[in-house]
Chains A and B, each alone.
Chain A
Amino acid sequence: MALVELRNVSKIYHLGGEEIRALDDVTLDIEEGEFISIIGPSGSGKSTLMHILGCLDRPTSGTIRLDGVMIQSANPRELAAIRNRKIGFVFQFFNLLPKLNVLQNVELPMVYSGVPARERHRRAMEALEAVGLANRCKHRPSQLSGGQQQRAAIARALVNNPRIIFADEPTGNLDSHTGEAILELFKQLSHEGRTIVLVTHDPEIAAVTPRRIEIRDGRIAEKLDLTLAGLDRPGRAGAASTAGNS
């Protein structure tokens, strides 16, 4: 049984009487320990897919099973608990709370899972050490660089030891050098056995993952497996193949 199983998932919005199929009959499995990227231009439906995978949204039709739990029939309270314990989010704009310091930001998910204060502190410090930010734990997010903020956000995503991590354009707001360092961090986490889903519009970034899924007009356009395609070097080649299809 795969960690995530999507079966014929559609998401339909109604905008002024017009029906918009943000996702159209998507079927997808994500195995435990996979490092996978979802690529597609803006408006392709990749964000909708991530929201549904991330239990922020529910599909209009189809089924989704995450770690054995049927998501489409879960109530909002259960969805919140699943987001809290099984899922970690990393966002393009970091989404740290500006009024809290880094440590408090990292502790936040544990506040909602009922971890005692001392334990929260210990685990948050461990997570910050893992991303190399322990010495900045008392700083406010605004006192950190973009890369450091994103590291704090990754620490927050890791701190409840989730089943799966979703990263939505995690380098989109960073310069290329810092972005690479963040990608390295994801690679390292993948090596440690974590399941990571990277959502991006940039084929170059998608190229770091062994498995890529391209979304176009709400459908899975192409499944690319780096080894099968004979592309043992990440970078240009992946970008060219994506460009060729458009």
Chain B
Amino acid sequence: MSRPDPVPRNDSIAPAPLNLGVTLAVGFREIWAHKFRSLLTMLGIILGVASLVAMSALVKGIERGAREALIAVGGLKKVRVEPQEVPVDQRHLADQAVGVNLNDVEAIRQGAPLIAKVSPYMTIRGVLSANGRRYRPFILTGVWPVALEMNEHEIQYGRGFTELDEENARNVCIIGTAARDALWGSPEEVGREIIPVGRTVYINHVPFTIVGMFKHYESEQERRQRELEAKLAAKAAAEGKTNTVRRGSRRRRRGSNFVFWLKNSTVYIPLNTMWMKFRGELEAAGVTSVPRLSVLEVEVRSVERLPEALQQVRNILMATHKGIEDFTFRTQEDWAEGIEQFVRNARLSGGLIAGIALVVGGIGIMNIMLASISERIREIGIRKSVGATTRDIFVQILTESVVLAVLGGLIGLGVSFLLVRLIGSFSPTDNAPVITAGAMALAFGFSVAVGILAGIFPAIKAARLDPIQALRYE
């Protein structure tokens, strides 16, 4: 039995399908053959991708921190109703203006179904004294029990206010950890957590019993940092060294997130107690006739229906205030919008810079591809003479360009992790950068797109080479 012809003739003149495996292999070989040159070429893409991802991580970190803070103050559902000066055209009625008062609270409760909660506040400036020390809280306010809920307060030790506290105007207070730290010392300073529940504190020289203490509020990042420090301290202590925990480290962190600091600096007493015991101070603070409030907060049932809910409140208040507009709304939407605006702007400017870096990287790739094809004119001629179509050459050059860009993109993603870690080490406490999969995908997609765009022109140039002239080229 004779062997059949081992090489069958292929008489078809239809083009063969692209062999992507071989094309890719050729691309990688070409890059490997010029390692240093390829690395330099990729550098543009590497930096572009790394800066894009790092920038986005940075903005994301800041955004996350801001949103955390927004939630800590009660979120978007909370709206403040603040007293305001009577508008100019109603000035002649100013003496009839009643201000935001307790009657409003009742009226809103009864008449505004879109409002879930109403919380009145009376705030004074005051001094706490105990243990021979003095402390001036940022928020010294008379509240109803509902305020704790609305402001996302959590009582870690002791109890909240009861109806009896309110009705009997008892001298009880709930303090934040900042007051405890100032009067008795922070856990870091004392070495143990002091729980002053049951002790007496003087508020503007009036004795109060501390019935509860809030938990220590801090951002995710602060908590992690604190735990790390505690762990290090414990380790140091275990090794028998002197306790070298930095004093005042919390003070250093104080400015890092204003909202949490403010929340820790809160002292609440029952609203009725405030009214009964500190009328003088209240009048000094502008709360004059009987049930006036410093401010009123309402919580809407759903954020989607915020405008309608506000309209309900407005209608009610217009009625109770006899048409005098001596109040104003302040929503957290402004804040949320501010966050969004910041994020938008930061993304835009950061993206622009990273985009320019990527474009520069693309130009670098195009440049090197043009140099590469003029080095390889003869190779292209040879490939064409053995049957490479213009499409084959086009795809080959384009593949090399894309492989360069994709490699650069992948390395760039790796570099971005290092970069983010580096940035994180500069600002360890606040708003740690967060690398998102979306940002990585975006940056990688951009690098691929840049590779394609940068490769098209050189690929067309190479594919159009005349095989005869390319073969003659020395």
Contacts and interface: CB of A to CB of B under 8 A. Distances in A.
B33 A99 contact: yes
B383 interface: yes
B389 A77 contact: yes
Interface residues of B, number: 36
A2 interface: no
A103 B234 CA distance: 67
B6 interface: yes
B68 interface: no
Contacts of A91: 471
B386 A57 contact: no
B382 interface: yes
Most B Cβ at <10 Å: residue of A81, A82, A108, A123: A81
Contacts of B22: 111
Given A95-B385, A112-B386, A159-B7, A80 B15 contact: yes
A86 B12 CA distance: 9
Interface string B201-227: 000000000000000000000000000
Contacts of A56: 384-385, 467-468, 471
A99 B400 CA distance: 15
A81 B33 contact: no
A113 B382 contact: no
A160 B29 CA distance: 25
B6 A81 contact: no
A161 interface: yes
B390 A77 contact: yes
A89 B33 contact: no
Given A112-B388, A112-B389, A114-B19, A95 B9 contact: no
Interface residues of A, number: 38
B88 interface: no
A55 to B, nearest CB: 10
B16 A77 contact: no
A106 B400 CA distance: 22
A51 B466 CA distance: 12
A108 B9 contact: no
Contacts of A76: 389-390
Contacts, number: 100
Contacts of B379: 97, 99
B382 A85 contact: no
Interface string B3-22: 00111111111111101011
B391 A77 contact: yes
Contacts of B12: 81, 85
A201 interface: no
A32 interface: no
A160 B471 contact: no
B392 interface: yes
Contacts of A114: 16-17, 19
Interface in B338-390: 378-379, 381-390
A81 B386 contact: no
Contacts of A144: none
Given A80-B15, A123-B6, A156 B386 contact: yes
Nearest to A126: B6
Contacts of A57: 468
Contacts of A83: 384-387
Contacts of B382: 95-97
A109 B387 CA distance: 6
Contacts of B16: 81, 84, 112-114
Contacts of B467: 56
A85 B9 contact: yes
A84 B386 contact: yes
B14 A81 contact: yes
B6 to A, nearest CB: 6
A67 B387 contact: no
A78 interface: yes
B200 to A, nearest CB: 88
Interface in B9-47: 9-17, 19, 21-22, 29-30, 33
A158 to B, nearest CB: 8
Contacts of B389: 76-77, 80-81, 112
A69 interface: yes
A74 interface: yes
Most A Cβ at <10 Å: residue of B11, B21, B378: B11
Interface in A56-89: 56-57, 67, 69, 74, 76-78, 80-86, 89
Contacts of A74: 13
Interface of A: 51, 54, 56-57, 67, 69, 74, 76-78, 80-86, 89, 91, 95-97, 99, 108-109, 111-114, 117, 122-123, 126, 156, 159-161, 163
11 contacts: A56-B471, A76-B390, A81-B15, A95-B381, A95-B385, A99-B379, A112-B16, A114-B17, A126-B7, A159-B7, A161-B5
Given A76-B389, A77-B390, A99-B379, 4 more contacts: A56-B471, A84-B386, A117-B21, A161-B5
Interface of B: 5-17, 19, 21-22, 29-30, 33, 378-379, 381-392, 467-468, 471
